[in-house]
A and B are shown apart, each in its own frame.
Chain A
């Protein structure tokens, strides 16, 4: 088990390297640092000197991949690629193009993201699973038919409409909670209710359908028939046997998103102006701050890989048939 985990970590290194090269190509090879400088300083009336200053300030005045002017190892290390990539592996994200410390920003903005993402995930799971079980309990009835039609309709509505509709009806017409904003500590609670509610509502359509197919698959297995033959009621069968056995796919689906919760949701956070990592990324995209976007891409891939690893490990814990080697 330990050796498996170590091997997986070693396998993650070339992956992260590849991600790094990919973002490097996207940002630096197609756009030269000159273009970036012009973008940041404004298109017109930029003197050559200003561009040189900006590049020097942000460490973009080196060659991209190969420094012919330097000596020895410097030829590799004295390049933008080396300078801007190696530190990422040490989780030192450096300074953004607008001059702020990215690492400090991330540490600070991670909490609002978590405060929004964790309740959304938990409440969403609870609602989706109970609704799905309800549909399975009443299978082959009009309730199920109606429910399935409703689910397809809920799925067909863009998440943007859930947000706009929720903000309008709950926030503006009923004035139950503030429309957007954020506060520190417990005061943040009233700002978080609406986004959590909306993200749960937006996920019901696809979520319930997914869990419903999981349960339906499980319901037709032999052990369920045995349990019924034993004289258990349908509710007991569902909650004791089916739910327990369907926990494995549910759990693995949840574990893989756990690390990604740090990243927050781009859309929810920017709509509700919650100062988390999602809105941080969107702001960076809009300001064309390459250093931040690149750090976030890297962080995202690290978390994704960690999530996959956690999934595999959780498999062995839940299902004794799985052996990692």
Chain B
């Protein structure tokens, strides 16, 4: 086992999220909005998709040293699952499902002469004897086979759960949101089963410039996107909650100091602050190479630092909201009564204020997530995001820019990054909308 810094924080985050879920579910006043979210098919479907992404991200967060190789290569559970894709590297670009390279080369013929043609791929479609005639039939057969096997597997699971004769289970299955969950799961499991089985024989999404499988790259990028989206909130939340509540509750000089801090941070353009900090880390790492000998450790450090910086620049908005809400809450009768009864301020904050601002925190977290995933791509493009060696959608897009100028165009890297990023961000946005509709008191009044 090898625990990277971000891995440890991801586990911590999962634990914290679980604890928060248990806490929120027990709160009386949270029950109604939670039920509202559960009843919405769109929210249920997008949450399912998000959890599927999270599962891949978690599998990619379990690292260990590779026992087979002599070097100190660090692998993750996902690497193990995608061993074929990882090992099946080609020479350079190849299109999705291709059997030949994308560029012509001099091929040495058996009789000693050379021919100027597209060489066969080493792994993609290597099992075919005569690619020209067999290829189309083989691809269709394998795709249909994979889809039907995955679909059959899912159908079996669904039948089993449908067979659950208990009344509560039946009622649950009949709900629109449960059907949406099953439908999403069915599609995701079937398609990913087919893609995985196909990826043993072909490069489903092609290969990039150095011949690495693009499907593998996009899968690895999921973790980076999720880590940035979620760890940043982990950094941001304590700052925003503690400062926001304290500023609103204690007023006076505490309020002044906290307001001064967040106005200062706010007035620095975010991108520039991030750029400055990342620049600093780069210079620091360049000057202390002995602490960052492993490439993965180095990239991980930079990812962690990016989350830290993004967190530091993005807590101010939530802090201001919480301060305003606390200012309002502290004038409420029950808080005044608690103060009159001599309850300690810390107790009031914990018992009365914190639970009553939780819905704002929840809304802010889900709203920020998708914008952080998008921000990662933009930051990586201007070279102040994650390390260039880290798999991330931003880095994929960045590299694809030059490929667009090639003739004929190499489009699959870009399309893959687009599709995966779009799916993740769309699911996050839809879920965020549902959460906001359910928890925002102003929207409830309107019906």
Contacts and interface: CB of A to CB of B under 8 A. Distances in A.
Interface of A: 14-15, 18-19, 22-23, 26-27, 30-31, 35-36, 38-39, 43, 152-153, 155-161, 164, 167-168, 172, 220, 260, 263, 266-267, 270, 281-282, 285-286, 288, 290, 293-294, 296-297, 300-301, 304-305
Residue picked from A31, A168, A305, most chain B C-beta under 10 Å: A31
Contact of A305 (B267, B284, B394, B430): B267
A165 to B, nearest CB: 9
Contact of A158 (B287, B377, B383): B377
Contacts of B277: 26
B397 A152 contact: no
B378 A158 contact: yes
A18 B275 contact: no
B280 A300 contact: no
B429 A155 contact: yes
Contacts of A35: 283, 287
A299 B430 CA distance: 37
Main secondary structure of the interface of A (DSSP, over half): helix
B283 A39 contact: yes
Interface residues of B, number: 45
B276 A26 contact: yes
B19 interface: no
A158 B397 contact: yes
Nearest to A34: B287
A35 B283 CA distance: 7
A158 B221 CA distance: 15
Nearest to A173: B409
A281 B283 contact: no
Given A15-B260, A153-B426, A285-B275, A160 B404 contact: no
12 contacts: A19-B268, A26-B276, A31-B283, A38-B287, A152-B430, A155-B425, A156-B422, A158-B418, A285-B384, A293-B275, A297-B273, A304-B267
Interface of B: 260, 263-264, 266-269, 271-273, 275-277, 279-280, 282-284, 286-287, 370, 374, 377-378, 381-384, 393-394, 397, 400-401, 404, 409, 414, 418, 421-422, 425-426, 429-430, 433, 446
Nearest to B414: A164
A164 B268 contact: no
B383 A286 contact: yes
Residue picked from B279, B370, B378, B404, most chain A C-beta under 10 Å: B279
B333 to A, nearest CB: 29
